[in-house]
Structure 1
């Protein structure tokens, strides 16, 4: 067991001089480090009750494949898109970075070009394959996301990965990159596709919302929302994804600001590769990948998932007929 002085010394020893200065000034620091013959870790250092603490999460350094993660084939298509913006959204710890790494790895091995990744911190290390992969870490290789993004187009990218969009300026850069013919892959903190669009709008003053909606209607390629749900045998967790794709009808709804109508459209557009969380949870339960209890616990509408299980059918028509007869509501 470490005493407070030893914990402080150990935590500071893992940091670069720049990270140490940041930590001593702000009392917070997030970074990644590699322990030889042990592994790579993501670290969150902090101060609590005037003592230094840290939480370490092991990073799987080998780039995972879509098949290993059990991700839907739609992500193959999004990873290979020529231009536009793809958002991966979810709460902290839901596997966004892992899914994003799989998308970059797939693109790297199945195309040519230049992928620029700006991350805070770098988690997965990508080797050059079909593509040249440039990885820049905020605080080490560049001062901030914003500084790096201002210079990115001068570096001739084809794909730009932004580890997380946290500011209006970063969002403006992402939209501009998409408009100029680049593919942008990025993450955002939001629970589902609808909330992600609301979050994007909230970066901007209300008088700019119409312009932002127009930009998104033209440049959005997809929003993938992710949760992790434990497997029945307790051996790991299963990624459950909600997927919104920018079809002509979706584009029209976004342009008109009718974000509240998108969920119903997603339910009826599975043939295009779209799916809601509730449909994805039902499908995972039907395949035996999660329990009924967890499917209901993670559902947007537990009654709707319960009805899907009862009917053995997730189609909107079947649900609306049965809900009407049974009087279900949430």
Structure 2
């Protein structure tokens, strides 16, 4: 990617070439007092811990993570830590996480790929679910949080079907909640 300057300064570091690891690069970036930090991938305890610390100190942190759904991304982060630290990590996430966006690339009728997204906004109810480890709070909030901007995978799939981008069979094959998708398509 090419980042063009427009009254800003962008420092990009490549793991292996400029820094030893993601966590080393993140710690170096924090010394420069950045406004925004973008991490290519949150894959280990040190990187996730440093990202949480950066978010808690007021930095806007974006990171990527391989996960099936927006809500399972939270559990992927928590599960990286030993059991005795998971309560603290849940509390940190509940305070600092603002949103999770998940996408799946779905084959279209035109033999291309289109993203179906999930968008989880951390509302007070979601923060409670994260803090208490109650995944059902998070999923329920996603289903009822349309006005807050939340989108379930099934809602995204249903929209793609209604627009004629994907067929029903493809949508059902990728749905996490086929009954919910059926309800949305009726």
- TM-score, normalised via structure 2 length: 0.94
Contact map agreement 1:197 1:259 (CA 8 A) in 2: no
The 1-side partners of 2:161 and 2:6 are apart by: 37
Q: Does 1:202 align with 2:60?
A: no
Equivalence for 1:226: 103
5+ long unaligned stretches in structure 2: none
Show structure 1 runs of 4+ deviating over 6 A: none
Match of 2:59 in 1: 182
CA distance in 2, matches of 1:207, 1:298: 35
Q: Deviations over 1:87-143 (max 9, x none)?
A: xxxxxxxxxxxxxxxxxxxxxxxxxxxxxxxxxxxxx22222343221111111212
Match of 2:169 among 293, 302, 305: 293
Contact 1:229 1:238 in 2 (8 A): yes
Rate the CA distance shift 1:269–1:176 in 2: closer, same or farther, 3 A. same
CA distance in 1, matches of 2:40, 2:96: 19
Q: Name the residue aligned to 2:25.
A: 148
User: Residues 194 and 260 of structure 1 are in contact (CA less than 8 Å); yes or no, is this contact kept in structure 2?
Assistant: no
- Which of 242, 250, 261 is 2:126 aligned to? 250
Residue 285 of structure 1, CA deviation: 1.0
Which structure is larger by alpha-carbon Rg, 1 or 2?
Answer: 1
Distance in 2, matches of 1:263 and 1:299, equals 14
What per-residue deviation string (whole Å, max 9, x for no partner) do you get for residues 156-191 of structure 1? 211001100111010110011011110000011111
Over residues 244-301 of structure 1, what are the superposed CA-to-partner deviations in whole Å (9 max), with x where a residue is unaligned? 1111111122122212331122011111110110111001111222211211111112
Cα distance in 1 for partners of 2:65, 2:85 equals 20
CA RMSD of aligned residues (A): 1.4
Structure having the higher helix fraction is: 2
| SS of 2:13 mapped into structure 1 | strand
> 1:129 and 1:291 mapped to 2: Cα distance?
43
* CA shift digits 1:213-265 (9 cap, x unpaired): 1111110011111101122222x321111011111111122122212331122
Q: Does 1:172 align with 2:55?
A: no
Contact 1:159–1:182 (8 Å) recurs in 2: yes
The equivalent position to 1:303 in structure 2, one of 156, 179, 182, is 179
- Aligned equivalents of 2:123 and 2:60: distance in 1? 17
Mapping of residues 20-35 of structure 1, within 5 Å: none
In structure 1, how many angstroms separate the alpha carbons of the residues matched to 2:2 and 2:14?
A: 11
Where 1:125 maps in the other structure, the secondary structure is: coil
Query: What is the CA–CA distance in structure 2 between the aligned matches of 1:199 and 1:300, rounded to whole Å?
Result: 17
User: What secondary structure is seen at the aligned counterpart in 2 of 1:189?
Assistant: coil
- Between the aligned partners of 1:300 and 1:132, the Cα distance in structure 2 is 41
